Structures are given as structure tokens and as C-alpha cells.
Structure 1
Amino acid sequence: MWTDELIDDYVRFMRSNRGLSEHTCRAYAADIRQCLDFLARERSIQRLQDVAITDLRSWMARESQQVVRSSLARKTVAIRRFFSWAQQHHIIDANPAARLGTPKQAQTLPAVLNEHQALDLMGTVEAQCTDQPAPADRKEARQEAIALRDCAMIELLYATGIRVAELTALDQRDLNFSNRTVKVTGKGNKQRVVPFGIPAQHALEQWLGTQGRPVLANGSSGDALFLGARGGRVDQRIVRSAVHEHARDAQVPDISPHALRHSAATHMLNGGADLREVQEMLGHESLATTQRYTHVSIEQLRQRYEQAFPRA
């Protein structure tokens, strides 16, 4: 019978040898436990050695009725990696998941803002980053600091196209104002240096000034660049909430931080950036992932063509 210790051993291996994030490790562990619980309950399997591919396909069939394709694909990858690890460590003789196929993903274009909508959003953000007189009391000071933080986060997200998890993991030492770049640690602990523009620099300087980060900082802050209301490192949920709120204020389509990343990539490509330069900036391992944004650009070109060309 498998045990939680076995799954914990696997997660420790993936964390130390594959450089997976804590979020991914937790998701994989939950997926594996869910699968093994199903096998024990529905297929009466008590030993990892007795699992067959038909059992795993039965689990996938059940999951396909309950989760979206992207979630099922992640679960399948987690199970394949787990059984591969178990075979490599001589826990099982053969890998029943070796021929377990990953569900094909629907090839949908990522949602993006157009350039005018992005300008409206960033204009709303910038309006809240203007210099303000010192707040009268502590409560107002904290509200002002949070407003400056949200502005800086959104400016940096759009300027760099980084992921929300990468944003929340940033430390102050990762910023280099002399050449306007930020060192980002992405998936697999891979690091890259990404440039940002003058508006993002101004917003960051406002946040790091006396009315921003120092107002929220306390003993738990460490070197974290962006802080939550209690002084610790800001949570991804707070970033998403800030993006939704500012999109509503700017009266543009409701977007997520990841959609802002899509928008930044598309606008860079529309502006003439090289595909491989955008790939490097976004931290994509595969050029095929970056090429999805060319599809967005082509779709926008088609819409402009139909609006402007008399024989469209």
C-alpha cells in the first residue's frame, strides 16, 4: 500500500532536482493522492505494483467529466512523472503510465487588450501614481501606500510581461534602476533579465519612496519588493484583485494579470519586436508558445483589414 511518505519523497525529489515551484509541487501531490485514492476505492488496488494503464485510464475518464482539459492535462503529467520516478527508484518494476496520453488542449487565442484599451488602463494607473501631499493620519498613509503599490505592480506587469508568480517573488535587489532592468526567477528557477520603461520606473520609485513601501514594512518584510497590508510579501490574489479593480476603473474589458502578460507580448510583436526577443523576455522555453501571440496579431490585422479595405 502506498503512503503519504512515498508521495512526500517524490515531492522532495521534484523540488530539489527539477526546481519546481511550491505551488506546482502542492498541485502535483494533490493530484497523485486523488488518483491513488480513486484506485484504492474504485479499483480495489492496494499496491503501486498492481496499477495497470487501464486503471489509470479509468481514473482519467472519471476526471474528464469533472475538470476542464487544462486541469486534466496537469493531472496526467503529474501521474506520469510520479510513476516514472517510482520505476527509476525501483519502487515498481514497470511504469503503467508510460503510454498514458495527455489530453489535447483547445487551441484558443489568448485574451488581450488592444493598444487603445491598454493606454486607457495605464492612464488610469498613472493618474493614481502622481505625487500627493503627506497623508494626515496612519490610516490614510496605509491607503496611499497600497495605492502606490498597486500602481507599481500593474506598471511592471505590463512593462515586462512577467508572470504574477514572478512578480510576487521579486526582491528589491532584483531591480536595477541604472539600466531599467529587473532580474526575474521563472519556472524551474531559471533567471532572466527583463527591461522596463520610464513609466514603470516612476511608479516603482514612488512605491519605494517614503509614502510607499516604508509605510507597510515591518519585521516580516525582508527584502520583498511588494508587500501586503500586514507587511509580508504580497499574495498573488492581491495582485489579481488590483488588476481587476483598475480595469473596471478604466472601463476596459476585465482582465487577469496573465491577460496583461498576453497583451504586453502582442503589443511588442505589433510594434515590430523580434519573436525570439519576446520569447526571451517572457521566459518561454519553446518558441511555439511565443508564436501563439503572432496568431493574435494576425487576428487583429484581419479585423483592421475588414474595417479599412473596400473589397474586404
Structure 2
Amino acid sequence: MTAEMVAVFIGSSIRFAAPLLLGATGELVSQRAGVLNMSLEGMMLTGAFAGAVGSWASGNPLLGLLCGVLAVIPLALLQAFLSIRLRANQIVTGIGINILALGATTLAYRELFGSRSDAAIPGLSKWAPPLLRDIPLVGTMVFEQVWLLYAGLAVIGLTAFVLQRTALGLALHASGAQPRAADSCGLSVTALRYGAVVFAGVMAAVAGCFISIGDIHTFTEGMTNGAGYLAIAAIIFGNWKLGRMLGACLLFGAATALQFFLPSVGVNVPSALLIMLPYVLALLAVAGLMGRQTAPAALAQPYSRA
């Protein structure tokens, strides 16, 4: 094993973790506000499809990214309406939207692309920070990533600041922990939760576009492969704390990268075991075997002023 191979593994881990980081950040805000957005998988898949179609049709991946975001916002509003206004079961509605997104994107994919299913789609370019890319051996292999990742990291940093240092962050925490107390202080729990779900939808769309036009430069049926569920598991794994959640996403990304790294160094491990590894880690997190979990007190509980 060489330093170059290790650098490739680290770079791949970051690349596989990127859509989880983006999607989980939006989902964390939603859950902090009290809404369990189980439709994250469907939102990511819809964003991936719309981003690929927009990029393919226009030849401009930036327009594709915009199309991906615009396509997911109606899904986010639907999830918010069902969860907040109609006070429907958030798990059931989320899974229903996931099934709808899978069916709709599969049908549209076959109708639009047909025999062109393996055609290359214009994708987002890669970029590396000037100083980091000059590091010998590992600079470009680790830090040369799709620029959307670095833009996403800036958004993640801003999100952390808002949640921890601003009145808006305090209001979001209150909406998910003590919504009645927040309401009595003059805050609109409905508006806060709507905004949080829409933000989760935008981040999910960006995560989906990262996969289709950032990483792979094509679209395939169901290409998110459970990334949305892994992002939700990362939040539980991180105990609803942003820093620990980011660490969980990197862990899941490294587990995925092992599928390609171990065979390259001559370690013979059944491929099925490597494929299931991220989901095994997610199962351990959801089962509470990674420590005591403390979710927002009013998570997934509809709120009514009556």
C-alpha cells in the first residue's frame, strides 16, 4: 500500500460523503424544527433527475443545478403541507413521497432518454484550493473535488452559525423542543417549520445534483441508492449535533469507498459485505448501539394552537 493509494481512498471517501453531508445538513435543520422529513431520499432522487435533464437539455450544468432545486421545492412544500397543515403521519407521508419520486423519475427517465441512457451529460467542474492542491502526493487526489462540495461546506458553516449563534437558530430549536412555548412568545411555529422543510428540500436537491451532474455525469434509475436514508441515519448517529453528524457522514463515505479500495490492495472481501457495510453502520446508529440518543422533544409531533 502506497501513500498515493491512501490519498485516493481519502479523496474517494470525501466524494462519497459529500451528498450525505449536503442532504443531512438540511434534514438536521428540519428535524431541529420538529419535522421528520422522511422524503429526503425522494427529494435527492428528484434533484438528481431534474439536474441531469436540465444539464442535458441546455448543455449548461449550472442551469441543470437550478432545475434540480426548482423541481424539488414543490415536493418540499407538499411534505410541509401534509406534515404541518394536515398534521399527517410524517413517516408515512415521507415514504409515500419517496415511492412517488422513484416511480415518476423512472418513468420520465425512460421516456426522455430511452436509447440515450448512457449518454454523457455535461457536469460540474472540479476545483482545489490553491494552497492545498500544491501539497506533494496528496494535494490533487484529496482536495480536487467538485466545486459544489466547497460551496456546500460554506453553506454548512453558515448553517452552524445560524443554529448556534442567532435568534433564528434559537427559534428553530424552540420549534422542535417546545413549540407551545415558542408560540406563546410570538413565534410562528408553522412558518419556522415550513421554512426548515423547504431548506431541507433545497439541500437535498443540491445533494442529488452532486451525484448526477457533479460526480457521475449521467442519470440512472434509483441512482441515490438509499443516500437519503443514510443522511437521516447520520443525524441519529451524530445525536442531532452538526459536528458529530458530519463525522458520521464521513464514516459512511469511507465505508462506501472501501468497496473499491480493498480489492485494489488485494484484500479479498465479499462484495456484498462491502456494499452493505454503510447500512450496517446506519442500523447500529438507529438502534441506539452507538450511545444514548436525544432527539428534539417534539420531533415528528404535529402542533396545533387549539
> TM-score normalised to the size of structure 2?
0.21
> TM-score normalised to the size of structure 1?
0.21
Q: Higher relative CO (CA 8 A, sep ≥ 6), structure 1 or 2?
A: 2
- Radius of gyration: which is bigger? 1
Richer in helix (by share): 2
